[in-house]
Structure 1
Amino acid sequence: MSYSTVVARLRVAGCVFAEDEARLLVDAARSPDELERLVTERAEGLPLEHVLGWAEFRGLRMVVAPGVFVPRRRTGLLVAEAVAAAKPGAVIVDLCCGSGAIGAAIATELGAVELHAADIEPAAVRCARRNVEPLGGQVHEGDLYEALPERLRGRVDVLAVNAPYVPTGAIETMPPEARLHEPRVALDGGSDGLDIQRRVITGAPWWLAPGGRLLIETSRAQAPHTAAAFERSGLTARVASSAELDGTVVIGTARGHQARPTV
């Protein structure tokens, strides 16, 4: 199958960036039969990243797989803020890690760190291990903090979180590639989109080192509510945003040794 034929098939399927996608598919295919399979999967709506088996994130190729959340470009702001907040040797936790792209990018950009990633989805954990373990990190499976080893309590310098924050009622308005091919647990943030964020924020003081940072990606509209939840949990909060990346992150700092809630 020629490049021009691939472009034509992708255009018919509604792929906006048909030329770029065709180039990637042609380069990835090791045989004509494999190219046919890749093009068919993409034309049927499977996300390009799932078809290729990787997603570009912060200049890196991150392994992804069907049923695993695909890292978004906007999340690069979360990585940039985390790198700015930490030093080499820091204890980094990527919670709700999905493919582990956030933690892997932070570790790559920062250098030697103690990296941990955790997710509740077995498929995500399997995928994250392929991205995180080659960097010397560890991946844990479980529900939020329940997944983390006890030895991390009070030691985490940077807790980077891209928890699901889409309001339940808005999921049906998402592009088909997301709502049909990514796990709902990675998208659904409850009625106002903040259910998982609130759980993360409430538990964070147990895990952060004095002066440690909690960073949560959110939307511009949700950011004031996320920041207010930080303050209620005893964290100072500020909001960072990037028009270029269309990203918003709330950063909270632990106020030294503080009384930690019973969660």
Structure 2
Amino acid sequence: MPPRSPLSPSSPPSPSSRDVVVAALRAAGCVFAEDEARLLLGAARTPDELAALVDRRVTGEPLELVLGWAEFAGRRITVSPGVFVPRRRTEFLVEQALAQAPDASVVVDLCCGSGAVGVALAAALGGIELHAADVDPAAVRCARRNIAGAGGHVHRGDLFEALPGHLRGRVDILAANVPYVPTAEVGLLPAEAREHEPLVALDGGTDGLDVLRRVAAGATDWLAPGGCLLVETSEHQAEAALEAFTAGGLTARPAVSEELYAVVVIGTRGTRRGRV
């Protein structure tokens, strides 16, 4: 087990606090100890709070959960225990969605987790009708806190079953950050993910594409003419994902970001309509 923080709850603040925090984080194996120390020091209002935050971090809790927020697409997204932490690589999915449908007026964030993707799209597009959905009640509670500011709606349920019927055939952007880790590889994930994030947000079935196939198969019923489905996957899964999109009646192509190590499969339906 990683060492606990050497900070005592009764220790008064001192100029050496930062050095003590950095040393504790380094001993626990935190690669970006200096950056994390700055964030933890900024979050703590008292020495007691600082000691508690550092203890949580050095015993393996993800930094974002310790802080209560994650940075995503230039915004702070609230995250809470038991909720998938948005990754920076998923910003590429947002970028691709905006490039594909810059005039989108109806957006759905499926498998929304914290709602980070929906919030980022709403901020960039402005004035849209935003819906998000997840099967996990903890994710739904967290997403509601984030999406409320964007005037969006969050629904609980299994994929499309969660969505209100009036969205059928109207969705311009369907962003689905589905789980895509093969079941046999979940145990190989970093401990931060294995121990602190929900399995339903990680495990994508035997080859990692079970949920992706279900989304691709049902997407055309919900997409507007010219609407697009975007799903993040891995490089070695991209070909099979493209096949699933094509089987679902979508015109599909991959997009790759070498900088973010991100692969997004994009599927479109028909001819785009203008924004109303």
State the TM-score, normalized to the length of structure 1: 0.96
Query: How far did residue 255 of structure 1 move?
Result: 2.6
Residue 79 (structure 2) aligns with: 64
Residue 181 (structure 1) aligns with: 196
Tell me, in whole angstroms, the C-alpha distance in 1 between the residues paired with 2:154 and 2:172.
Answer: 17
Tell me, in whole angstroms, the C-alpha distance in 2 between the residues paired with 1:19 and 1:87.
Answer: 38
Alignment of 1:93 onto 2:102:
no
* Counterpart amino acid of residue 12 in structure 1: A
Unaligned runs of 5+ in 2: 1-12
**Taking structure 1 as reference, are residues 202 and 89 closer, same or farther at Cα in structure 2, changes over 3 Å only?**
closer
Tell me the secondary structure at the aligned position of residue 175 of structure 2.
Answer: strand
Query: How far did residue 253 of structure 1 move?
Result: 0.6
Tell me the secondary structure at the aligned position of residue 221 of structure 1.
Answer: helix
Residue 179 (structure 2) aligns with: 164
* Counterpart amino acid of residue 115 in structure 1: L
State the TM-score, normalized to the length of structure 2: 0.91
Matches within 5 A, 1:10-21: 10-21=25-36
Tell me, in whole angstroms, the C-alpha distance in 2 between the residues paired with 1:184 and 1:18.
Answer: 28
Residue 151 (structure 1) aligns with: 166
Residue 50 (structure 1) aligns with: 65
Residue 248 (structure 1) aligns with: 263
Residue 219 (structure 1) aligns with: 234
Q: Is the CA contact 1:74–1:246 (under 8 Å) kept in the aligned structure 2?
A: yes
Q: Is the CA contact 2:98–2:121 (under 8 Å) kept in the aligned structure 1?
A: yes
Q: Cα RMSD between the aligned structures?
A: 1.2
Tell me, in whole angstroms, the C-alpha distance in 2 between the residues paired with 1:223 and 1:216.
Answer: 10
Alignment of 1:235 onto 2:250:
yes
Query: How far did residue 245 of structure 1 move?
Result: 1.0
Length, aligned pairs only = 257
* Counterpart amino acid of residue 212 in structure 1: G
Q: Is the CA contact 1:218–1:250 (under 8 Å) kept in the aligned structure 2?
A: yes
* Larger Rg, first or second structure (1 or 2): 2
1:137 to 140, 144, 152: 152
* Counterpart amino acid of residue 82 in structure 1: A
Query: How far did residue 86 of structure 1 move?
Result: 2.2
Unaligned runs of 5+ in 1: 258-263
Alignment of 1:124 onto 2:144:
no
Determine what percentage of the aligned residue pairs are the same residue.
64
1:102 to 109, 112, 117: 117
Alignment of 1:22 onto 2:22:
no
Residue 88 (structure 2) aligns with: 73
Residue 6 (structure 2) aligns with: none
Residue 38 (structure 1) aligns with: 53
Tell me the secondary structure at the aligned position of residue 77 of structure 1.
Answer: helix
Residue 8 (structure 2) aligns with: none
